[in-house]
Amino acid sequence: MRRFFLVATRNPISLLGVALTTASAVLFLFLLGLELISGHGGNPYLGILSYVLLPGIFFVSLILIPMGVAWERRRRRQGATGDLFPILDLNNATTRRLVLTFLVLTLVNVIILSAATYKSIEVMESTAFCGTTCHTVMEPEHTAYLNSPHARVKCVECHIGPGAGWFVKSKLSGARQLVSVAFDLYDRPISVPIHHLRPARETCEQCHWPSKFVGDRLSVRTHYDQDEENTELKTVLVLRVGGIQGRKSSGIHWHVDRDIQIRYRSDASRETIYEVELTDKDGKIRVFISGDSSSEDAGETTTEPGPWRIMDCIDCHNRPAHIYRMPDSEIDRALQEGLLDRTLPYVRREGLRLMRETYPTAEAAVSGITQGLEAFYAETYPELSMTRHADITSAGHFMGELHNRNVFPTMNVTWGTYPNHLGHTDFPGCFRCHDDEHVAEDGETISQDCSTCHILLAMEEENPEILELLRP
Ligand code: HEC
Ligand code: HEC
Ligand code: HEC
Ligand code: HEC
Ligand code: HEC
């Protein structure tokens, strides 16, 4: 044993092994401590480093030690005599100082290395890294994300999440993405749905309690008419969001009740749903088959129904973070928030017309929309066009910005490129299944009855009575 130790300390391979084992062990302990203290436990990059990479280095270095010993023995057997290293005499003050300096420097190295690793992990998981490193490619997603309720949630929290398995998957796909950016192979627009997205139930449920009873929710939506006054119109509905109350789930969130399961088969875009299978909590199965998937659409392009997909949050909330809007809802929001001047006659109608046109670049959109608006007022309201020139110009600029939040010519992203499944007004959404066309064996369908999902109290009314009633 003693001999082994002697040989081990006298050859560079073993020494390297010893150094690496020590360093990785120290780094491991450091990260472990950090995790315990700061609660960075969920960080996937940190996890992979401390539980996959470092132990790997540790074990490989351990193997280096006996390998070095074997090498040294062979070297000796082949007649090499003498020591490879000078003998360190710790009784010598200079040597002692040297050794001490070496140890201190090593310690400093370890600390610097730890800090650097930690920092680089932080950078890699930052939103800026994901959202802006490959600027044009991620521009649509990054822009749409900044205008969403999840603007403070990091990209990795939805796209990667904790766990080594997902980390490796995401790194593999990251490597593929790097290649496709480098060689310009990526899709424009990036195609959705993402088939390998981390299961939504794992991601979303880190922050949202799925069984929380939201119940009925009053929702007031403000729209504007295309008339001269840009008249304000209100839609009032009670959305039956539901959830679990008293062990029974109801309403819209019933689809994600733990006791039931809904699976479906669709085309690759998930826009056309052919079959829906519902397993209720007694294990009873019902299958709803789309009327037009079997017989009638023989003439249409026949797309093979894909594999079964279990319905989860993303089948409704497919745009939690990358919310692209249609031009009318952008303008309505801006008018409601007072960011667009409602006193400009026909501003909504003209804005919509100009925003829907095609512009080659973001700058061209701003100047095109502004000039178009100025031209409209100059011709139709010459006087107003003089007195309120500044208001008109700034409205034009703002509409250009609204346009550029949703349209990205370099990525071929335009109005409606990315459908939103929540609702049914701009895209099929809920009506992909709730169309009264998906029929079960007993003849029942997945209902399109308006009151299944909401109570419509007013629809685009100027002064809905219901809001008067609710006013204190
Ligand atoms: C709240 C969760 C969440 C966050 C935070 C998030 N994403 Fe997403 N992202 C999604 C979901 C869900 C989809 C899948 C949409 C689908 O499959 O239809 C998606 C889709 C995408 C797509 C595919 C194209 C598209 O627009 O659908 C890209 C690219 C993307 N995300 C990048 C990012 C980047 C970059 C960030 C950070 C700036 C980010 N994501 C932050 C949930 C999130
Ligand atoms: C890291 C935490 C986190 C994760 C992960 C997360 N969310 Fe959120 N979510 C939030 C926060 C914070 C808000 C903002 C609440 C607010 O603004 O009132 C929010 C808001 C929402 C809202 C309400 C939006 C609105 O208009 O008010 C929905 C719906 C939602 N999230 C769905 C999802 C879905 C679906 C996923 C999974 C893809 C998800 N969230 C993942 C933290 C998270
Ligand atoms: C069948 C479609 C559907 C599914 C599946 C679904 N949701 Fe929802 N969710 C909705 C609708 C519709 C609303 C109401 C939106 C609104 O207020 O405009 C909503 C609202 C929410 C809200 C906001 C509630 C509030 O208090 O304001 C959160 C958070 C949320 N969902 C999270 C989730 C999570 C997490 C999952 C997956 C476990 C999920 N949802 C699955 C349709 C769905
Ligand atoms: C993948 C297909 C699918 C999609 C998409 C879908 N649903 Fe459903 N939904 C079903 C099925 C299946 C039922 C059960 C029908 C039955 O039992 O007759 C159902 C039932 C419901 C119910 C009644 C729940 C209860 O209390 O019994 C509501 C409310 C509902 N859906 C709302 C929505 C809303 C809102 C959306 C869109 C945001 C939506 N659904 C999207 C398949 C779907
Ligand atoms: C399967 C569930 C479901 C059915 C059936 C349904 N809706 Fe809806 N509807 C929704 C959801 C969810 C929203 C809210 C979407 C959102 O948050 O933007 C909505 C929103 C609306 C809005 C408000 C749009 C806005 O933003 O101003 C109107 C109007 C509406 N529905 C009308 C109807 C009518 C009319 C019917 C009957 C033919 C109907 N809906 C059937 C789920 C449904």
Ligand having the closest approach to the CA of 313: 3
- Is 316's C-beta closer than 6 angstroms to any atom of ligand 2? no
Helices 12-38 and 93-124: angle between axes, nearest 10 degrees: 50
399 and 453 housed in the same domain: no
116 and 34 housed in the same domain: yes
**pLDDT tens track for 100-154:** 877 887 777 677 667 666 766 666 677 776 776 666 778 888 888 888 999 888 8
239 and 348 housed in the same domain: no
3-state DSSP call for residue 97? helix
For ligand 3, the distance from its centroid to the CA atom of residue 317, given in whole angstroms, is 7
Please give the tally of structural domains in the chain. 4
Type and span of the H or E element at 439 = strand 438-439
Do residues 277 and 263 touch, judged by C-beta distance below 8 A? yes
Rounded distance, CA 373 to CA 346, Å?
Answer: 10
Rounded distance, CA 319 to CA 418, Å?
Answer: 9
Predicted TM-score of the model (pTM): 0.83
16 and 114 housed in the same domain: yes
The answer to whether residue 202 sits within a structural domain is no
**What's the pLDDT at 299?**
44
**What's the pLDDT at 297?**
47
Q: Minimal CA–CA distance to 232: which of 458, 462, 457, 456?
A: 462
316 and 431 housed in the same domain: yes
Joined tokens for residue 45 = 């990059």
Closest ligand 5 atom to residue 452 Cα is 5
441 and 335 housed in the same domain: no
Q: What is the mean pLDDT of each run of 10 residues along the chain (472 residues)?
A: 64 82 82 68 60 76 83 81 67 82 75 68 69 74 89 82 63 65 75 79 81 86 96 96 82 90 93 94 93 51 75 94 94 96 97 97 97 97 96 97 95 94 95 94 93 95 91 82
Q: What is the 3-state secondary structure (H, E, C) of 141-198?
A: HHHHHHCCCCCCCCHHHHHCCCCHHHHHHHHHHHHHHHHHHHCCCCCCCCCCCCCCCC
The answer to whether residue 130 sits within a structural domain is no
Do residues 466 and 457 touch, judged by C-beta distance below 8 A? yes
Rounded distance, CA 329 to CA 116, Å?
Answer: 46
3-state DSSP call for residue 82? coil
For ligand 4, the distance from its centroid to the CA atom of residue 251, given in whole angstroms, is 8
**pLDDT tens track for 234-290:** 999 999 998 887 778 889 999 988 889 999 999 988 999 999 999 998 999 999 999
Helices 389-406 and 347-355: angle between axes, nearest 10 degrees: 40
Residue 266 structural domain: 215-320+421-470
Residues touching ligand 5 (Cβ under 6 Å) are 221, 235, 237, 239, 422-425, 430, 434, 448-450, 452-454, 456, 459
184 and 316 housed in the same domain: no
**What's the pLDDT at 343?**
96
Rounded distance, CA 20 to CA 57, Å?
Answer: 7
- Is 127's C-beta closer than 6 angstroms to any atom of ligand 1? yes
101 and 183 housed in the same domain: no
- Is 318's C-beta closer than 6 angstroms to any atom of ligand 1? yes
The answer to whether residue 129 sits within a structural domain is no
Give the burial class of 107: count Cβ atoms within 10 A of its Cβ; 0-12 exposed, 13-18 middle, 19 or more buried: exposed
- Is 240's C-beta closer than 6 angstroms to any atom of ligand 4? yes
Rounded distance, CA 127 to CA 144, Å?
Answer: 13
The answer to whether residue 203 sits within a structural domain is no
- Which of 368, 388, 411 delimits the end of a domain? 411
Instruction: Give the closest residue (by CA) to ligand 3 atom 5.
Output: 313
- Which of 124, 150, 167 delimits the end of a domain? 124
The answer to whether residue 207 sits within a structural domain is no
141 and 284 housed in the same domain: no
Best of 133, 139, 141 for a ligand 1 pocket test (most atoms within 8 Å of beta carbon): 141
**What's the pLDDT at 73?**
83
Type and span of the H or E element at 248 = strand 248-250
308 and 332 housed in the same domain: no
For ligand 3, the distance from its centroid to the CA atom of residue 450, given in whole angstroms, is 18
Do residues 289 and 438 touch, judged by C-beta distance below 8 A? yes
Task: Write out the DSSP string of 209-223.
Answer: -TT---EEEEEEEEE
**What's the pLDDT at 298?**
44
**What's the pLDDT at 5?**
62
Ligand having the closest approach to the CA of 201: 3
For ligand 1, the distance from its centroid to the CA atom of residue 159, given in whole angstroms, is 7
- Is 162's C-beta closer than 6 angstroms to any atom of ligand 2? no
Do residues 124 and 45 touch, judged by C-beta distance below 8 A? yes
The answer to whether residue 208 sits within a structural domain is no
- Is 279's C-beta closer than 6 angstroms to any atom of ligand 4? no
- Is 193's C-beta closer than 6 angstroms to any atom of ligand 1? yes
407 and 427 housed in the same domain: no
Do residues 282 and 260 touch, judged by C-beta distance below 8 A? no
Rounded distance, CA 188 to CA 411, Å?
Answer: 5
DSSP-derived secondary structure letter, 297? G
Q: Minimal CA–CA distance to 114: which of 30, 17, 19, 45?
A: 30
